[in-house]
Structures are given as C-alpha cells and as structure tokens.
Amino acid sequence: MRERYHKHTVLAMCIRRCHTARMSGFLPFRIDFGARAIDDLHRRIDATRWPDVGFSTGWSTGTDDAVLRDLVRYWRRDFDWMAQQEQLNRLAHIRGPVEGEELHAVLYQGAGGAERLPLLLVHGWPGSFVEFLDAAPLLAAGIDGPGYDLVVPSLPGFAFSEPPRAPGMHPGQMAERLHGLMLALGYERYGVQGGDWGAIVGTALALRHPEAVAALHLNFVGGRPPAEGEAMSEEERAYREFRQRFEAEETAYSRIQGTRPQTLGYAQHDSPVGLLAWILEKFWAWTDHGDDLWATLDRDRVLTNVTLYWLTGSILSAARVYYETAHAAERVLGPRVEVPTGYLRLPAEPWRAPREVAERGYNLVHFTEGERGGHFAALEQPDPYARDVAAFFAGFS
C-alpha cells in the first residue's frame, strides 16, 4: 500500500531550490496515509500469533521477547502515526525521476546569508531519512556559523523512492542516482555524509564523481586489511579480532539478505510484528545504551521509521541492497578515495575501524573520537554529530 502524492505549497524557504528541481521533473508532495491504512496495521497487530518462548533469552538468540511485546503494545495503543505524519509534512519533500525511476528527498535550506557547500546526508539500512530529523535542523540553522543547505534522500527502494524495476541496484548505481538528484537540484559541487550503506554509497560517489564531491564525511568505516608485509598495530589487531567474533554472532541478517532476501521479505511484508522484531534487533545491537534502550533512543522516532517501512511496503526492496552488492557484476568500490575525508569514530559502532585503517582507504584530513554513540550517529547523538559534520565541512565552503 503506497502513499498518494499531491502537489502542495512547499515551505517558502525552499521555493527557489524546489523550482530548480521542478524543471527536472521533480514535484513537491505530501505523505497521505489515512485511517484505513492504520486500521489495517492495527488489525494485523491484533491478529499476531505470538510464539511460546518458554523462558527469557534476553537478546542472546535475537529480539528480546519482553521488550518486543512491550513496544508492540505501545505501537498499537499509544503511537500516533497521524501526529508523526503531520510533523513529517511540515518538511519540504520532493519526488521525481532520475534515470526513469522516482527518487524522494527532503530539502532544508541553510540559515544565514553566506552561500555554503550543500550537503547530501545519506542513510543506510534499516534506517531512512527519519534518522536525520533531529540533526538536520541543527545543520541547517547553523552551528557556530551560517547553516548548510541539505538534501536528505531516500535511497532507491527505500521509503518513498521507487523500487528498482530491474536487478543491479548496488551502491555504485545508487551513487549515480544521488548524483543525478543533486544535479537536478542545481548542485554541481557538494559534500557527502553517510553511515552504514550511506557511507558505502558516499564512498562510491567520491570515487565516481570526485569533480563534484568536494569532501566526504563518514561515521562508518569497514576498512581494508594491511598490504602483504605491512605491520598491523595492536589496536587494529584487537579490532579485527572483535570483528571476527561479531561476524560469527551478529551478521546472520546480512547473509540472509545477501543471498535470499525474497523469501524473508514475504513474512516481513505481511507481519508488522515480524518486521518490527527484525529491525528492533539492530537498534539494540548497534547503539550505545544501557539496560533501557529508550534512555538512548526515542520510541516514536524508531516506530516512525518502522511504520514507514510498513506503510510503503519497502522492506524487501530496501533489503535487496545486500543481495545486489554481493552479486554485482562490477567492483562496487575501487581504489583509495582521494577526496578529502572526515571520520567520526563512535565507541559503540561495530564497524569502528581504527584511524590507520581509515587512512588506508581514504585521504583522511579530519578525525574525531566521539565520546558517545553507535551506528545510528545522527539519531543517537544529533548535537555532537551535527557539530562534527559542520566543523569538517566548514573548511570546504
């Protein structure tokens, strides 16, 4: 069940940029899921066939049953999608064709008179543009200076961007789509920020279009191993030992989505509780938190993100990025990135490669060890995230 798109009056501050986009076929739209869609969601939640777990496993075998049931109760009884939808519709959304398929983005125009480098903020899986709802206004308003113009897209197959109609939509192809979006908006030179798949797509953008990508900021770096004969530091050795343990216990989702996403997708597309359980596990495993996940994350933000996956029916088309990357006919990433790169390394990020690893793959000119935060940097710590992003790109305006 997809949303209905309508022309509407976009926020006045984005009229100029939206006019440029309209010339390329982009139109403003509003999200318009009605009571019928929410009634169907509630009906399916009410009809959930819950398993008898038998005893408390915590998170050791997957999503904690007690945490999930509590969140489902909140989703069904207290979460107000209509209020969230109203807030989302206060933003400037556009949607239009890039290479023949519809792409969605949210636009923010920076405060202040100075013309600054526009920034492309790219999400990953199981995220969406919702990850940036708190951090983007901080960057647009300006931190220690004028604000930035921001473009926050939905990757192809995610949320309001159309599912690809042919195989092969790997991060390199996604990078081409996002570059096309920026050109449609009139931005020939821009900065890119990303984590998770957003970091991989951003890396591909920097490799494919170094003439357009002025600088690249990442909060996720996997990192290539040292060359033959090159010494490995104790920090890197410890990181790779951690990653080996992590891969063995925490990446079954990636192997499934990289090999047979279709089979799992039917269950997730049909069961909202199944969808929530799959995504919730990642928010637990990859974020910086204590015993209470909601002391770190806002439940409504997480449920808005999950509800978007549900209402747009995009969980399968989004998960296919794993399959397309694993089966790409071309090399997705290539040589070292020479575009100036910043790296925000956060303590609870599972893919927190040491600085020396990042320097192996990128022209690293900015490095920050964050005090708190994990995989979803903009969602978990919007203020420190925005400050580091702003400080890095200030040198490239």
In a domain, 7, yes or no: no
User: Which residues form the domain of 33?
Assistant: 12-47+59-226+242-396
In a domain, 174, yes or no: yes
In a domain, 3, yes or no: no
pTM of the model: 0.94
In a domain, 4, yes or no: no
Q: Measure the CA dihedral 373/376/379/380, to 10°.
A: -20
> What CATH number does the domain containing 201 carry?
3.40.50.1820
- Give pLDDT, residue 276: 98
Q: Pick from 195, 42, 81, 207: which is nearest to 132 by CA?
A: 195
CB 20 within 8 A of CB 56: no
Residue with tokens 């047979």: 260
Q: Is the bond leading into 126 cis (omega within 30 degrees of zero)?
A: yes
- Give pLDDT, residue 23: 60
Using 50, 70 and 90 to split pLDDT, how confident is the model at 150?
A: very high
Domain count, the chain: 1
Task: Tell me the catalytic residues.
Answer: 196, 322, 375
Q: Measure the CA dihedral 336/177/260/285, to 10°.
A: 70
Q: What is the mean pLDDT of residues 166-172?
A: 96
Render pLDDT for 228-257 as a digit per residue (tens, 0 to 9): 888 899 999 999 999 999 999 999 999 999
In a domain, 52, yes or no: no
Using 50, 70 and 90 to split pLDDT, how confident is the model at 330?
A: confident
Using 50, 70 and 90 to split pLDDT, how confident is the model at 176?
A: very high
Q: What is the mean pLDDT of residues 281-301?
A: 96
In a domain, 301, yes or no: yes
- Give pLDDT, residue 112: 80
Q: What is the mean pLDDT of residues 54-75?
A: 95
Query: Side chain identity at 164, as an amino acid letter?
Result: P
Tell whether the model's pLDDT for residue 193 goes beyond 90. yes
Render pLDDT for 1-36 as a digit per residue (tens, 0 to 9): 333 333 333 444 455 556 566 667 899 999 999 999
Q: What percent of the chain has pLDDT over 90?
A: 85
In a domain, 53, yes or no: no
Q: What is the mean pLDDT of residues 304-319?
A: 98
Render pLDDT for 92-137 as a digit per residue (tens, 0 to 9): 999 999 999 999 999 999 998 777 899 999 999 999 999 999 999 9
In a domain, 232, yes or no: no
CB 362 within 8 A of CB 387: no
- Give pLDDT, residue 92: 97
- Give pLDDT, residue 5: 31
Q: Pick from 244, 247, 238, 303: which is nearest to 275 by CA?
A: 303
Exposure on the CB side of residue 201, measured as CA atoms within 13 A:
31
Tell whether the model's pLDDT for residue 167 goes beyond 70. yes
CB 150 within 8 A of CB 333: no
- Give pLDDT, residue 225: 83
Render pLDDT for 253-275 as a digit per residue (tens, 0 to 9): 999 999 999 999 999 999 999 99
